[in-house]
A and B are shown apart, each in its own frame.
Chain A
Amino acid sequence: MRILTYREAIIEALKEEMERDPSIFIMGEDIGEHWQGSVKEFEGLWPKFGSERIRETPISETAFVGCAIGAAMTGMRPIANVMFASFLGVPMDEIFSQLTKMRYMFGGKTRMPVTIMCLSGGGMNAAAQHSVCLEGMLMSIPGLKMVSPSTPYDAKGLLKSAIRDDNPVIFFQNLFLTVTGFKGEVPENEYTIPLGEAVIRNEGNDATVVAIGNMVHAALSAAEKLKEENINLEVIDPRCMAPLDEKTIIESVKKTGKLVILDEEPKTGSAASEIAAIIAEQAIEYLDAPVKRVCAPNTPVPFSPPLEKYWLPNESKLIGAIHSII
């Protein structure tokens, strides 16, 4: 099958969707003529679609996320590029109080087909204000959907579904996978992936590992290493934290009796915490060991390479957690 990078797969999804639907346009900073995205994540779109649809904005996240809301209510299908997940704090009121609440407040009488794209996650020494993952914090907002793709195939299929969805969706484009040119198989034919379906990346009976975003790859390499010890991990990639495919996780935990969650967020209030709570509530009787959350410490993301390496969850921390319960 054809091999694309994570970044290329995302650009291809945008190109195909914009060709298919003239109501789609992208707003954001430096996405057009000169940079075509701060890490070239929109390369080739401006030459094809021009400044009307690849619409560069001033540094005004509050304005252009609000603008996306008004445009979505009036027949358009906007994509707002907030550049880094860390920057979601700037237009958070638009996300928290308007984008995700208006349909409900208005008794279901509007739809909100807005996709917010942003680069998410650490590993690039980008320090505290360009490295965060925010899935856990945003999971507490009803009305929002979120995708955190870990492969080129998923990135393309999930982005297409996100754009076509009539609800607000945040698309967390993993920074590390984008910048390092992570590659994978992407078929040439048209496909989409439904939002809210997890995928089992590795089957196993000894412990369930739920890994989010780039952490999926750490989980898969840990699974490979633990095979030598005859420990078989079941690695689940939820792909979307909202809607979350609880069923796949619960079924797996019922089979393995153990759950470890690998999540690149400070532990408190993380997506890992929510998954742990779901299992405590719905499947505790199947557990034969404590749930382990392999998360980052409750500090901002540090800059210096040895510090960030210490901060990030990784394969060896996961293996340590597995050893503590098996």
Chain B
Amino acid sequence: MKLTKEQLLEMFKKMVLIRQFETRVKKSFADGDIPGFIHLSVGQEAIAVGCITNLRNDDYIVCHHRGHGHLITKGGNINFMMAELYGKKTGYCKGKGGSMHLADMDINMLGAHGIVGATVTISTGAGLSAKLRKSGQVTLCFFGDGASNTGRFHEGINLAAIWDLPVVFIIENNFYAEATSIFYSTRLKKLSDRAIAYGIPGETIASNDVLEIYEKVGKAIDRARKGKGPSLIEIQTYRHFGHEEGDMETYKKKSDIEVWMKKDPIDILKKYLIKQKFLTEKEAEKIGQEAIRKVEEAVKFAKESPYPAPEETLEDVYA
């Protein structure tokens, strides 16, 4: 499906919003306002936006621990997100989950998960459910290069394959599982080659270009929706920051950083939009300012929100 100018600008705005959200979270964490662990997706925005823009509202996503951008793209409320990161009662999970477990069942975002690879098997269930209910819903399953070395990657994708489940598995290959290079942890050059083992299509997108991601993942989603089964798509990208905030990133190569900084996904889309005369520098600047304003509003909402009462600890264990 060809994207309209409005859709393209919407994608740009989402990517900018994710960038500003993450950048502000980095500051709040450094200031000591956000407790716990924070995994930022700066540099990887094209994947969340390129993949999820293809979805119907009732489609599902299941997300890894670096999932702020995915929830924003699916239509999440950044006030509730920020409040959750701050540990507040008004947060998405009432302060019980934090950054690693953001979830919004109302928009079929089935949660971010802190156990690497867990999304693979959970996604098969959402896929099977859609198939049994004949709902036509597709599930997008996100996980990192590290997860592709886990046993559940094998079991889950195999199950989705034999049952032709409407699931698209997305490997966000940012080349590092924490501090361990993917070139150390597998002999493969292309992680999508693993699809061969399951008899399903596999494709590697070696690009931070959101439009290329949109188009290629869109084909896999269409295929899944037609009942033709799952696909495995590796998308190569780069996280601009560490695995988590506080990571000194001693494992990264300076030459790699230089290469990837020139492939910033927001710059790529911006250049395209300007070339197409859909956007001017001035308008881009305005979009950035608007994103900052929204994020500051979210921070204000989070800061002014109350903490949950301590005894709320005991609630929500059982239905």
Residues of A bordering B, CB below 8 Å: 25, 52, 57-58, 60, 62-76, 78, 93-94, 97-98, 102-112, 142-143, 145, 165-167
* Chain A residues, CB < 8 A from B108: 74
Query: Is B259 part of the binding interface, using a Cβ–Cβ cutoff of 8 Å?
Result: no
**In-complex Cβ contact of A105 among B101, B156, B162 (8 A):** B101
With CB as the reference atom, state the residue of chain A lying closest to B111.
A106
Query: Is B60 part of the binding interface, using a Cβ–Cβ cutoff of 8 Å?
Result: yes
Given contacts A57-B159, A58-B159, contact A106 B105 (CB under 8 A): yes
- Tell whether, in the assembled complex, residue B124 and residue A70 are in contact, meaning their CB atoms are under 8 Å apart: yes
Chain A nearest CB: distance from B163 CB in Å? 8
* Chain A residues, CB < 8 A from B128: 67, 70-71, 76
With CB as the reference atom, state the residue of chain A lying closest to B120.
A66
- Tell whether, in the assembled complex, residue A109 and residue B103 are in contact, meaning their CB atoms are under 8 Å apart: yes
**In-complex Cβ contact of A107 among B96, B123, B155 (8 A):** B96
Given contacts A60-B159, A106-B97, A107-B97, contact A94 B319 (CB under 8 A): no
* Chain A residues, CB < 8 A from B122: 66-67, 69-70, 73, 98
* Chain A residues, CB < 8 A from B60: 74
| Most chain A CB within a 10 A radius of its CB, from B127, B129, B317 | B129
* Chain B residues, CB < 8 A from A103: 316-319
Chain B nearest CB: distance from A3 CB in Å? 35
- Tell whether, in the assembled complex, residue A60 and residue B129 are in contact, meaning their CB atoms are under 8 Å apart: no
Q: How far is the CA of A308 from the CA of B129 in the complex (A)?
A: 43
Q: How far is the CA of A66 from the CA of B165 in the complex (A)?
A: 14
Given contacts A107-B92, A107-B94, A109-B93, contact A69 B121 (CB under 8 A): yes
Chain A nearest CB: distance from B100 CB in Å? 8
Q: How far is the CA of A316 from the CA of B55 in the complex (A)?
A: 65
- Tell whether, in the assembled complex, residue B129 and residue A74 are in contact, meaning their CB atoms are under 8 Å apart: yes
- Tell whether, in the assembled complex, residue A93 and residue B111 are in contact, meaning their CB atoms are under 8 Å apart: no
- Tell whether, in the assembled complex, residue B156 and residue A63 are in contact, meaning their CB atoms are under 8 Å apart: yes
Contact bitstring B85-112, A, C-beta under 8 A = 1, else 0 = 0000001111111000101110010110
- Tell whether, in the assembled complex, residue A68 and residue B118 are in contact, meaning their CB atoms are under 8 Å apart: no
- Tell whether, in the assembled complex, residue B316 and residue A166 are in contact, meaning their CB atoms are under 8 Å apart: no
Q: How far is the CA of A165 from the CA of B132 in the complex (A)?
A: 21
Chain A nearest CB: distance from B138 CB in Å? 12
Contact bitstring B114-134, A, C-beta under 8 A = 1, else 0 = 110010111111111110110
**In-complex Cβ contact of A97 among B91, B94, B118, B124 (8 A):** B118
- Tell whether, in the assembled complex, residue B319 and residue A58 are in contact, meaning their CB atoms are under 8 Å apart: no
- Tell whether, in the assembled complex, residue A70 and residue B110 are in contact, meaning their CB atoms are under 8 Å apart: yes
* Chain A residues, CB < 8 A from B129: 70-71, 74-76
* Chain B residues, CB < 8 A from A72: 125
Q: How far is the CA of A142 from the CA of B103 in the complex (A)?
A: 20
| Most chain B CB within a 10 A radius of its CB, from A106, A111, A165 | A106
* Chain A residues, CB < 8 A from B120: 66
Q: How far is the CA of A102 from the CA of B128 in the complex (A)?
A: 19
* Chain B residues, CB < 8 A from A57: 159
With CB as the reference atom, state the residue of chain A lying closest to B157.
A63
Q: How far is the CA of A70 from the CA of B128 in the complex (A)?
A: 8
Q: How far is the CA of A106 from the CA of B112 in the complex (A)?
A: 9
- Tell whether, in the assembled complex, residue A70 and residue B127 are in contact, meaning their CB atoms are under 8 Å apart: yes
Chain B nearest CB: distance from A67 CB in Å? 4
With CB as the reference atom, state the residue of chain A lying closest to B141.
A70
- Tell whether, in the assembled complex, residue B93 and residue A70 are in contact, meaning their CB atoms are under 8 Å apart: no
Query: Is B158 part of the binding interface, using a Cβ–Cβ cutoff of 8 Å?
Result: yes
- Tell whether, in the assembled complex, residue B118 and residue A98 are in contact, meaning their CB atoms are under 8 Å apart: yes
Q: How far is the CA of A80 from the CA of B242 in the complex (A)?
A: 39
Given contacts A62-B155, A74-B129, contact A94 B93 (CB under 8 A): no
- Tell whether, in the assembled complex, residue A73 and residue B126 are in contact, meaning their CB atoms are under 8 Å apart: yes
With CB as the reference atom, state the residue of chain A lying closest to B92.
A107
With CB as the reference atom, state the residue of chain A lying closest to B84.
A107
- Tell whether, in the assembled complex, residue A74 and residue B118 are in contact, meaning their CB atoms are under 8 Å apart: no
Query: Is B315 part of the binding interface, using a Cβ–Cβ cutoff of 8 Å?
Result: yes
Interface positions, chain B 50-70, Cβ under 8 Å from A, are 60, 62
* Chain B residues, CB < 8 A from A165: 319
Q: How far is the CA of A68 from the CA of B315 in the complex (A)?
A: 24
Interface positions, chain B 146-180, Cβ under 8 Å from A, are 151-152, 155-156, 158-159, 162
With CB as the reference atom, state the residue of chain A lying closest to B312.
A107
- Tell whether, in the assembled complex, residue B115 and residue A97 are in contact, meaning their CB atoms are under 8 Å apart: yes
Query: Is B74 part of the binding interface, using a Cβ–Cβ cutoff of 8 Å?
Result: no
Chain B nearest CB: distance from A270 CB in Å? 23
* Chain A residues, CB < 8 A from B125: 66-74, 76, 78
Query: Is B194 part of the binding interface, using a Cβ–Cβ cutoff of 8 Å?
Result: no
Query: Is B13 part of the binding interface, using a Cβ–Cβ cutoff of 8 Å?
Result: no
Query: Is B113 part of the binding interface, using a Cβ–Cβ cutoff of 8 Å?
Result: yes
Q: How far is the CA of A165 from the CA of B105 in the complex (A)?
A: 20
Chain B nearest CB: distance from A45 CB in Å? 16
Chain A nearest CB: distance from B115 CB in Å? 5
With CB as the reference atom, state the residue of chain B lying closest to A166.
B319
- Tell whether, in the assembled complex, residue B121 and residue A107 are in contact, meaning their CB atoms are under 8 Å apart: no
| Most chain A CB within a 10 A radius of its CB, from B94, B132, B315, B318 | B318
Q: How far is the CA of A65 from the CA of B118 in the complex (A)?
A: 11
* Chain A residues, CB < 8 A from B94: 107-108
- Tell whether, in the assembled complex, residue A70 and residue B105 are in contact, meaning their CB atoms are under 8 Å apart: no
Chain A nearest CB: distance from B166 CB in Å? 12
Q: How far is the CA of A112 from the CA of B91 in the complex (A)?
A: 21
- Tell whether, in the assembled complex, residue B132 and residue A25 are in contact, meaning their CB atoms are under 8 Å apart: yes
Q: How far is the CA of A60 from the CA of B124 in the complex (A)?
A: 12
Q: How far is the CA of A72 from the CA of B129 in the complex (A)?
A: 8
* Chain B residues, CB < 8 A from A102: 103, 111
Chain A nearest CB: distance from B242 CB in Å? 24
Given contacts A60-B155, A73-B126, A93-B152, 4 further A-B pairs with CB under 8 A are A62-B151, A65-B121, A67-B124, A67-B156
* Chain A residues, CB < 8 A from B316: 103-104, 107-108
Of the A-B pairs whose beta carbons lie under 8 Å apart in the complex, a sample of 8, sorted by A's number, is A58-B155, A70-B121, A70-B122, A70-B126, A74-B60, A74-B130, A106-B96, A106-B97
* Chain B residues, CB < 8 A from A94: 118, 121
